[in-house]
Amino acid sequence: MNLYLVKLIRDSDCISTWFSHMEKIATDAIAESEINCHIIVICGSREFAAAASTGKLRNSRIIFAADLDGSGVNIEAMNVIGYLNLNPTALEGSIGGVIVDGKGELYTKDLGRRLVFAANMAGCAFPGKPLVEATGSLSNFAVSAKLWETSLDGAYVKNCRLLVEKVASFKAPTTERGDYCTNQLGTLEKPKILAIHAGNKATSNSFSLWREAASHLNDMAEIDEISIRNGQVLDCRGCKYEACLHFGENAGCFYGGVMVEKVYPAILKSDVLVLICPNYNDSVSANIMAFINRLTALFRTNDFSRKRIYSIVVSGYSGGDIVAQQIIGAINMNKNFILPPHFAMLETANDPGTALELPGIKERAEAFAHGIISYRIPD
């Protein structure tokens, strides 16, 4: 198997001490593991486009490595994002990870999310926690440095090594039920899908698209829908880590209520989470955000790394990409869910009931449903 290391250095001549260091970390990580994998370096956006246009970057493993100065702008990375936006099958069947090295404290997460979103829309899947970002002070590694009893720099290097290993060795998971998978598509047989929404079922555009997609899943999945009524889920209280851990160990949370009684058990038994998200002020709605924040207690004591996240996002005017990136940040990067290829269905419709009138919508909903049911992580 080939692992492509895509070098997105701000200097167009591609000379970088940081990247040489990164390449050595990746080479050592592979050499010292038992993974059978050949590392190929791609330098800059032109080489990336040339390799992608021959189809080489499909069915492969890819680490995007970008640096940032205080400007927060990396033209090479933006060119790669541009190429991916225009070539929606360029990375079909691939698995990715991202490393962003910043000089300042800002912009690293933003670039990481944009790269993951663009690559995902071009067919690349990402394991949970697929981003290693280094802010200028490295203080974002304080927790892992303490845990591993090492320096901030040591924690940075170790996180990079672990990411390279994770991307290179990522395999089709069995479900928590252990029953992976002998149907004709070689996928999960009857995955358990949990769909979460917070709108008015009778009028919601995003919910109507989910129902259209779900009509194609009928006998192929076990579907559970939970409707979060307005204000029903209180936002996270921000308990101390120890208190949150304590509640989480008992599958609970300080506030209890529907989240603990109904949503936590449903999350634990699900294979796939579908978040149904209208765009509210270029964000998921407050009810969906409260749901995400309140997942924290359960996340502390449970492994979500085999679950997959999908989403339907409907905007009245624009901005679905921003909402999708918010979901990537929260559920894939923070909560460790797998991001399968083409994880989001992004549509624009404003007046109630009009989403189902969009040209080609039934075909897109069917394709979205087929993606959920048919995706298998390549061996």
Map residue 115 onto helix, strand or coil: helix
| Amino acid identity for residue 238 in this structure | G
Question: Under rule CB under 6 A, how many of the chain's residues touch ligand FMN?
Answer: 19
Nearest distance, CB of residue 234 and ligand FMN, angstroms: 19
How far, CA to CA in Å, does 101 sit from each of 15, 22, 112, 195?
A: 15, 10, 10, 36
Indicate whether 325 belongs to the interface with ligand FMN (CB under 6 A). Answer: no
Q: Which of 187, 205, 325, 332 binds ligand FMN (CB under 6 A)?
A: 205
Per-residue x/- mask for ligand FMN, residues 150 to 189, rule CB under 6 A?
A: ----------------------------------------
Query: Of 356, 284, 351, whose CA–CA distance to 320 is shortest?
Result: 284
Contacts (CB under 6 A) with ligand FMN, residues 264-303:
278-282
Indicate whether 225 belongs to the interface with ligand FMN (CB under 6 A). Answer: no
Cβ 7 vs Cβ 16: under 8 Å:
yes
The CB density around residue 61, as the number of other CB atoms within 10 Å, is: 25
Cα separation, 74 vs 10, whole angstroms:
5
- Please choose, out of 198-206, 226-234, 298-306, 336-344, the segment that lies near ligand FMN by the rule CB under 6 A: 198-206
Cα separation, 334 vs 296, whole angstroms:
9
- Please choose, out of 29-37, 99-107, 201-209, 259-267, the segment that lies near ligand FMN by the rule CB under 6 A: 201-209
Cα separation, 90 vs 275, whole angstroms:
26
Burial of residue 195, with CB atoms counted within 10 A of its CB: 0-12 exposed, 13-18 middle, 19 or more buried: buried
Length of the chain: 379
Q: Looking at beta carbons only, is 159 or 208 nearer to ligand FMN?
A: 208
Q: Looking at beta carbons only, is 130 or 320 nearer to ligand FMN?
A: 320
Q: Looking at beta carbons only, is 53 or 318 nearer to ligand FMN?
A: 318
Cβ 191 vs Cβ 375: under 8 Å:
no
Q: Looking at beta carbons only, is 54 or 202 nearer to ligand FMN?
A: 202
Q: Which of 16, 187, 204, 270 binds ligand FMN (CB under 6 A)?
A: 204
Binding site for ligand FMN (CB under 6 A): 199, 204-207, 278-282, 314-319, 349-350, 352
